[in-house]
């Protein structure tokens, strides 16, 4: 199986490739440079493994939430590549990719993800691992820090170890004080490498979409996305 995954949803920018049993990744923190960096990163990774876009089985990407501009960049790139190569697409939550990394790299089966959404709000995600893949414990939302505290309290997991991920924890540390634990926040930004296990399982399960259905997720409803010309 060959899957290319990309992420530009936050300050980080990354591309990852699943090529059979081999995984490879390029990851950079490059705020406001995603549009300049992402295509060269894709070219570099595919060239390294002598793979063409048309050799891939699917494309995957972080569909948000995150920076509006960053999410649009990833969506547009995937939309263009999928349309040109007639490839299926797998959409993965930015928050889920971060929780997956927290499990793979640090062993946390439960992860509470909060990304700073600006305007004194956070992107909220609450995940638990089942059969090696993260699943939602609660639906994603954009919330104030106080609302996030209340939302996490809806599911009692005090007896279970949990990890934290995302920039929201530091940005609103005082408001989130009751949720802080002694563990470090090991995952600040998503990485395309951890889109891959989620995407691989989705592909096996037949959970792919066509380019016509590619849609970024902002969580703020007032933001819209224009599809390819003729695809409305």
- Please write the tens of the pLDDT for every residue from 54-72: 999 999 999 999 999 999 9
CA 202-208-212 angle, 5° bins:
155
Residue 178: the pLDDT is: 76
Give the residue-averaged pLDDT of 93-106: 97
Whether 28 is in a domain gets the answer yes
Determine if the pTM surpasses 0.85.
yes
36 shares its domain with 87? yes
The total domain count for the chain is 2
Lowest mean pLDDT among 5-14, 112-121, 126-135, 160-169: 160-169
70 shares its domain with 116? no
Helices (runs of H) and strands (runs of E) counted in the chain: 6, 9
List the domain range (segments joined by +) for residue 144: 108-179
Residues 208-231 as b/e (b if ≥16 CB within 10 A, e otherwise) read beebeebebbbbeeeeebeeeeee
Q: Which two tokens stand for residue 59?
A: 């494309």
- Please write the tens of the pLDDT for every residue from 162-192: 899 999 999 999 888 877 776 779 899 999 9
User: How would residue 44 be classed by pLDDT, with cut points 50, 70 and 90?
Assistant: very high
Residue 225: the pLDDT is: 45
Nearest-angstrom CA–CA distance, 74 and 60: 10
- Please write the tens of the pLDDT for every residue from 182-232: 677 989 999 999 999 999 999 999 999 999 999 999 987 654 445 555 544
| CATH code for the domain in which residue 118 is found | 3.30.420.40
Q: Are strands 163-165 and 110-116 parallel, antiparallel or unpaired?
A: parallel
Whether 11 is in a domain gets the answer yes
Residue 224: the pLDDT is: 47
Q: What percent of the chain has pLDDT over 90?
A: 82
Residue 183: the pLDDT is: 72
């Amino acid at each position: 199986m060959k899957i290319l995954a990309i992420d530009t949803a936050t300050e980080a920018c990354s591309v990852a490739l699943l090529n059979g049993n081999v995984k490879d990744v390029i990851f950079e923190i490059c705020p406001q440079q995603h549009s300049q960096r992402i295509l060269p990163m894709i070219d570099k990774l595919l060239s390294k493994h002598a793979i063409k876009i048309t050799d891939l089985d699917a494309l995957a990407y972080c569909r948000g939430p995150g920076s509006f501009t960053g999410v649009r960049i990833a969506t547009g790139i995937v939309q263009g590549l999928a349309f040109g190569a007639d490839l299926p697409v797998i959409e993965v939550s930015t928050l889920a990719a971060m929780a997956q990394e927290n499990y793979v790299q640090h062993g946390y089966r439960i992860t509470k993800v909060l990304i700073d959404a600006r305007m004194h709000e956070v992107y909220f995600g609450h995940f638990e691992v089942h059969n090696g893949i993260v699943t939602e414990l609660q639906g994603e939302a954009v919330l104030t820090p106080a609302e996030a505290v209340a939302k996490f309290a809806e599911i009692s997991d005090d007896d279970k170890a949990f990890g934290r991920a995302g920039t929201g924890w530091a940005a609103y540390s005082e408001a989130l004080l009751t949720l802080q634990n002694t563990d470090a926040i090991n995952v600040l930004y998503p990485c395309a490498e951890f889109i891959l296990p989620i995407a691989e399982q989705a592909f096996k399960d037949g959970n792919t979409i066509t380019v016509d259905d590619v849609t970024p997720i902002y969580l703020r409803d007032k933001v819209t996305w224009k599809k390819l010309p003729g695809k409305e």
